[in-house]
């Protein structure tokens, strides 16, 4: 892989000054063609032909150094991301494509979050499902779980709730679109109805008799005895 430019070092000035302008021009043109496509001149008619082997050797050394640098960059990237991107067929200088790096970091974060849920839930599939549904709900309400928020979520489950409540507590927050976890709501006890009281026939006649006697007394008082 050749560089896309030609280096002409300052120490070449004394040598080039001994050549005619036309010879310098032919020499530079031949160097450019050789560096770009590996095309060697069939012959150079002037004194530049004596200098050409030295120029060609410098170009070969510069390209070898550039290829070594590109290979080192690729190997360092592989160590960091543990795989070679499919479009990384050329060295871009000193770093991989920025979008590729961001995509890798996003995948790593998502994978770490899923693994943390799985590690916490263990063999409890219901708990793992509840954790993932809570995370999905948070994303839908535009409050996605950051790694720090996820750590606090798992710590709160262990600290504030018994293992038997974990699934119900998570589901409660999902059902109500709550960002946090809260104690389970329990239904208020139904008000106890007073037992219906029944009046016996004797009590009814006694009450009716008492009312009639009272009314009679009032009437007697009104009419003067």
The pLDDT of residue 117: 83
Structural contact between residues 167 and 127, judged by C-beta atoms closer than 8 angstroms: yes
The size of the chain, in residues, is 225
Q: Which H or E element spans position 162?
A: none
Alpha-helical runs (H) found in 97-200: 98-121, 125-140, 147-160, 166-176
The pLDDT of residue 114: 57
Of 16-25, 33-42, 95-104, least confident by mean pLDDT is: 95-104
Cα dist from 21 to 17, 18, 25, 43, 97, whole Å: 9, 9, 6, 18, 43
- What band does 116 get if pLDDT is binned at 50, 70 and 90? confident
Would the pLDDT of 163 be above 50? yes
SS3 at position 143? coil
- What band does 93 get if pLDDT is binned at 50, 70 and 90? very low
- pLDDT higher for 50 or 7? 50
56-65: string of b/e by CB count within 10 Å (b at 16+)?
A: bebbeebeee
- Report d(CA 36, CA 138) in Å as an integer: 55
Would the pLDDT of 118 be above 90? no
- pLDDT higher for 3 or 67? 67
Would the pLDDT of 166 be above 60? yes
Q: Model's pTM, two decimal places?
A: 0.37
- What band does 205 get if pLDDT is binned at 50, 70 and 90? low
- Which of the residue ranges 24-28, 162-166, 183-187, 219-223 has the most confident prediction, judged by mean pLDDT? 162-166
Tell me what the mean pLDDT of segment 150-158 comes to.
89
């Amino acid at each position: 892989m050749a560089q896309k430019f030609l280096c002409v070092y300052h120490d070449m000035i004394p040598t080039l000054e001994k050549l005619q302008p036309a010879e310098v021009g032919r020499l530079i043109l031949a160097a450019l063609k050789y560096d770009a496509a590996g095309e060697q001149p069939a012959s150079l008619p002037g004194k530049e032909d004596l200098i050409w082997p030295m120029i060609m050797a410098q170009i070969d050394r510069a390209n070898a150094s550039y290829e070594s640098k590109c290979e080192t960059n690729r190997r360092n990237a592989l160590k960091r991301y543990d795989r070679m991107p499919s479009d990384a067929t050329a060295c871009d200088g000193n770093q991989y494509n920025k979008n590729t790096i961001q995509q890798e970091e996003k995948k790593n974060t998502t994978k770490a979050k899923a693994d943390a849920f799985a590690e916490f839930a263990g063999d409890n599939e219901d708990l793992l499902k509840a954790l993932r549904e809570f995370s999905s709900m948070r994303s839908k309400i535009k409050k996605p779980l950051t790694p720090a928020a996820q750590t606090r979520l798992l710590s709160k489950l262990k600290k504030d709730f018994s293992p038997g409540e974990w699934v119900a507590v998570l589901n409660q927050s999902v059902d109500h679109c709550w960002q946090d976890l809260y104690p389970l709501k329990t239904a208020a006890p139904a008000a106890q109805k007073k037992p219906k009281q029944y009046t016996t026939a004797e009590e009814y006649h006694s009450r009716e008799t008492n009312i009639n006697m009272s009314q009679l007394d009032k009437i007697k008082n009104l009419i003067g005895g």
